[in-house]
Amino acid sequence: IELLLDSEFTENTQLADGTNVEIHLNAGLSADTGIAINHGVDGVGLYRTEIPFLMQSSFPSEDDQSLLYQSILEAYRGQPVVMRSLDIGGDKPLPYLTIEEDNPFLGWRGIRFTLDHPDIFLIQIRAMLRASIGLDNLAILLPMVSGLNELLDAKILIDRAFEEVMEMAEAEGKTLNRPHIGVMVEVPSILYQLDAVAKHADFISVGTNDLTQYLLAVDRNNVRVSDVYDSLHPSVIAALQNILQTCQRNKLPVCVCGELAGDPLGAMLLVGMGYRQLSMNTRSVARIKYVLRHLSVKSLEKHINTISRLPLASEIRTESETFLKLHN
Ligand code: PEP
Ligand code: MG
């Protein structure tokens, strides 16, 4: 308890040179809001809505969803909460919806599934919007987007839900602001469409778990190939640098919400590249804050220069471990 209440873990995260790095939370259960350490963050960077869906025996109703989402938005009142639309399929099959496919990770998951089921998508978006009335801290994130067309199609549905909920809010004398809409960067094809995406999205969130899986063509849950699954692979590092540069050029806010952001070596690399928003699980928050507070942008940039020249993931890991030991 003492550790959790220590101001070290509840204050903003500044590097040794005063540079601010926003630490957001990856959440997926309402229970997350009861943990003290979760209130020392700058907001919720990823609320995985599929988790409450997975714990039910049938699709939750709009009212039930709205109540749940409201409890999260209220718990983080005044801070941004990024709610991701349903990302089922792949490694997250719903017990009450059988999808049989040879390649679930390449199949009907994320935005592909919800665009084919606009009823499910509209109910969820309406529930989110209803929950945000009077709070206005909601942002909506779209998973598994592989092309601009999916973002445009989703935005048409979000607009429709917004008009409906706004009418409802106005009838009750309340107001509703348009939420920011973001795109997950986790399917490699979207890397080459980021300039176009920037014209239609308000922010992006990099999902390094799936980005690693799809860039290296390696199943993220298959132990036989777990040595191939490595987010420190030079190609993943190059992709992450490229994403940041494109976002900076387009003035598009960007957060990293994959596991890499909650790993000390990963967080160091990301901040060294120039990322200033990281989102991670509860168990990583204190550790990452601690690690970052001992580092400066200058030393991290030097570290990035060194590892950018290394062609092997094993060399990048060893070099990063040495750097971490030296500075912490
Ligand atoms: C990711 O893919 O990195 C991500 C954050 O989403 P999920 O792990 O839920 O697929
Ligand atoms: Mg993902």
pLDDT (tens digit, 9 = 90+) per residue, 238-288? 999 999 999 999 999 999 999 999 999 999 999 999 999 999 999 999 999
Distance of CA 91 from the midpoint of ligand 1 (Å): 10
pLDDT over 60 at 51, yes or no: yes
Give me the percent of the chain exceeding a pLDDT of 90.
85
Instruction: Tell me the two tokens of residue 12.
Output: 């903003």
Q: What is the pLDDT of residue 1?
A: 39
Q: What is the pLDDT of residue 36?
A: 66
Measured CA distances, 283 to 11, 36, 194, 278, 287 (Å): 16, 12, 31, 14, 8
CA distance 61 to 120: 10
pLDDT band at 320 (very low <50, low <70, confident <90, very high): very high
Ligand 1 atom at minimum distance from 210 CA: 2
Distance of CA 80 from the midpoint of ligand 2 (Å): 20
CA distance 41 to 4: 12
Q: Which of 25, 215, 257 to mutate for ligand 1's pocket (most ligand atoms within 8 Å of CB)?
A: 257
> What pLDDT, in 10s, does the model give residues 100-118?
899 999 999 999 999 999 9
- Helical H segments across 172-296, by residue range: 194-198, 208-215, 234-250, 264-273, 282-293
Q: Considering the entire predicted model, what is its pTM? A: 0.95
> What pLDDT, in 10s, does the model give residues 160-192?
999 999 999 999 999 999 999 999 999 999 999
Average pLDDT over residues 191-203: 98
Q: Are 81 and 44 in contact (CB under 8 A)?
A: yes
| Nearest-CA residue for atom 1 of ligand 1 | 207
Q: What is the pLDDT of residue 202?
A: 98
Q: How many CB atoms lie within 10 A of CB 226?
A: 12
Give me the percent of the chain exceeding a pLDDT of 70.
95
Measured CA distances, 190 to 17, 60, 94, 235 (Å): 34, 31, 26, 15
CA distance 265 to 257: 15
Measured CA distances, 119 to 115, 122, 173, 184, 324 (Å): 9, 5, 27, 22, 49
104 alpha carbon, distance to own chain's centre: 21
User: Residue 54: nearest ligand to its CA?
Assistant: 1
Mean pLDDT over all residues of the chain?
A: 93
Q: What is the pLDDT of residue 95?
A: 85
Q: What is the pLDDT of residue 158?
A: 98
Q: What is the pLDDT of residue 318?
A: 98
Please list every protein residue whose CB sits less than 6 Å from any atom of ligand 1: 46, 48, 87, 186, 207-210, 257-258
CA distance 290 to 58: 42
Cα of first residue to Cα of last residue in the chain, in angstroms, is 24
CA distance 103 to 134: 43
Average pLDDT over residues 110-137: 97
| Nearest-CA residue for atom 10 of ligand 1 | 210
Average pLDDT over residues 124-151: 98
pLDDT over 90 at 25, yes or no: yes
Residues with CB under 5 A from ligand 2 (ion): 186, 207, 210
Average pLDDT over residues 81-106: 90
pLDDT over 70 at 88, yes or no: yes
